[in-house]
Amino acid sequence: MAAPITEDLTPYSGVAPDAAWRDEVRGLAKERDAVLLAHNYQLPEIQDIADHTGDSLALSRIAAASDAATIVFCGVHFMAETAKILAPEKTVLIPDERAGCSLADSIDAAQLRAWKAEHPGAVVVSYVNTTAEVKAETDICCTSSNAVDVVRSIPADREVLFLPDQFLGAHVKRETGRDNLHIWAGECHVHAGINGPQLAERAAANPDADLFIHPECGCATSALYLAGEGIVPSEQVKILSTGDMVTQARATKAKSVLVATEIGMLHQLRRAAPEIEFNAVNDRASCRYMKMITPAALLRSLRENKDEVHVAAETAARARGAVQRMIEIGKPGGGE
């Protein structure tokens, strides 16, 4: 389990991301036969030294297919757990096990069991931002890019319990028009902080900019509303997973783009399309948990073989089916 929210969350510090650091990290990774995976919301220097960057689905796939003996997962705890579920024979390390997720913490296995008891026979669809214990109670995991397809694959007369993100749930409900979809009222503190009025103000000040919006943002509903009202031309509003944002950055003709998600994403977008000006809708939308994976934490991880991620065999076995269904249905590049 990730650390409870009351624990000291001061990141490991005191190491500069200089050439000596890069050499030592790469040298230790080679020595340990380790592959370094970094989520799109990681610090730029962590993204730049990783073997692979991406969203949670892309990284899960790489972890499962990798020949490396060790996976060093630079991301938050549930992501490293997912890698361990898919690759139980490998050593999975997270550079700081206190890196949790407020969205994953918004429901635990006991709460989910109680919710299931209220809706016997319902199909449980969980966004990938959940603990291993919650995944073990889940029928199909999903990412933000395949959530709609996953729900559409369920017979129309079956009730669906969708968790934990209420904004992604609202997006799926709107897209599928499904009345028997029940949504857990969880949210990510970072995405919830990006709101509609802020988006309207930024859009008005940048009338030619495209809007890239992650569906977990509290602003997704407002963005669609603004598009519907003609305040923002609908062709400029793109609701995208983080992986799809990179693809769209390469394809758009816009000269500037407003991005509504965690600000770490800007680094990948600027790398993908340096000629475009990318700006955050909210500059303060930074996930403190993601930023706990510092240069010092990564070095400690490789030097000391820490923090190792463990998932009980029985929990992992139950969770694996739900995660594998997510990977089969997901297109490359999906999820947070």
190 or 280: whose CB is closer to ligand SF4? 190
How far apart, in whole angstroms, are the C-alpha atoms of residue 37 and residue 327?
Answer: 17
Helix/strand/coil (H/E/C) assignment for every residue in 286-309: CCCCHHHCCHHHHHHHHHHCCCEC
Shortest CB 273 distance to ligand SF4, Å: 23
45 or 216: whose CB is closer to ligand SF4? 216
Among 76, 163, 266, 298, binds ligand SF4 (CB under 6 A): 76
**Region near ligand SF4 per CB under 6 A, out of 42-50, 98-106, 153-161, 207-215:** 98-106
12 or 289: whose CB is closer to ligand SF4? 289
- Give the residues across from 91 on adjacent strands: 70
How far apart, in whole angstroms, are the C-alpha atoms of residue 168 and residue 130?
Answer: 14
Which 240-269 positions form the footprint of ligand SF4 (CB under 6 A)?
Answer: 262
Shortest CB 222 distance to ligand SF4, Å: 19
How far apart, in whole angstroms, are the C-alpha atoms of residue 278 and residue 272?
Answer: 11
Shortest CB 8 distance to ligand SF4, Å: 18
164, containing H or E segment: none
Among 93, 183, 190, 309, binds ligand SF4 (CB under 6 A): 190
290 binding ligand SF4? (CB under 6 A): yes
Instruction: Measure CA of the first residue to CA of the last residue in the chain; give whole Å.
Output: 20
How far apart, in whole angstroms, are the C-alpha atoms of residue 258 and residue 281?
Answer: 6
Name the DSSP class of 18: S
Among 103, 107, 239, 269, binds ligand SF4 (CB under 6 A): 103
Which 1-60 positions form the footprint of ligand SF4 (CB under 6 A)?
Answer: none
Contact in structure between 297 and 11 (CB atoms under 8 Å): yes
71 binding ligand SF4? (CB under 6 A): no
Q: Other C-beta atoms within 10 Å of 111: how many?
A: 16
Residues that bind ligand SF4 (CB under 6 A): 76, 101-103, 129, 188, 190-191, 262, 287, 289-290, 336
